[in-house]
Amino acid sequence: MFSGSNSTYCKLCSLWENVNINEFLHDLRYVLIFYVLGDLLTTIFAIENGMGYEANFLIAVLLDYFGYYSILMLKLIFICFCFLDYLYLKRRGHRSMWDITRHMITLLGIMVVINNLLVISGLWVPIYSFIYSI
């Protein structure tokens, strides 16, 4: 079943050559802090205290059916995709593309946490009203 150098199993095993999980987690530390943990905690806090709602329709539907575990599972799936991206770009020697990718995800995470904190603080409504009144 796994014989031959062109089998799918051998191709998958070759992806694991020279993989350093600690390096990946170190590279992803700010993504984990802001995009995963920060977004998860601020979203749950806002929804549980009636200060906001999930604006993403698909996430809102998953929340209705499966609860907060659905957000956690989506974040874990996202981390798996980041790992595949890390493997692909590292294998091809595109370190700068990996750096750009993780920094953009971190920036997105910071923006999401700021948005959630504005919703929690009650400042989002005046800002929203000001922006759309122009």
To the question of pTM greater than 0.75 for the whole model, the response is: yes
Residue 2 lies in a domain: no
Containing structural domain, residue 27: 19-133
Note the pLDDT tens digit of each residue in 52-72: 888 889 999 999 999 999 999
Number of domains comprising the chain:
1
- Residue 60 placed within a domain: yes
pLDDT confidence of residue 53:
86
The span from the CA of 101 to the CA of 2, in Å, is 34
Domain membership of residue 51 (yes or no) is yes
Report if residue 122 sits inside a domain: yes
Q: Note whether residue 102 is domain-resident.
A: yes
The residue type found at 72 is L
C-alpha to C-alpha distances, 96 to 14, 33, 101, 112, 133, nearest whole angstrom: 22, 21, 9, 24, 41
Kindly state whether residue 105 falls inside one of the protein's structural domains: yes
Cα-flanking dihedrals φ and ψ of residue 41, to 5°? -65, -45
Within a domain: residue 116?
yes
Does any domain span residue 3?
A: no
| Residues contacting 104, CB < 8 A, separation 6+ | none
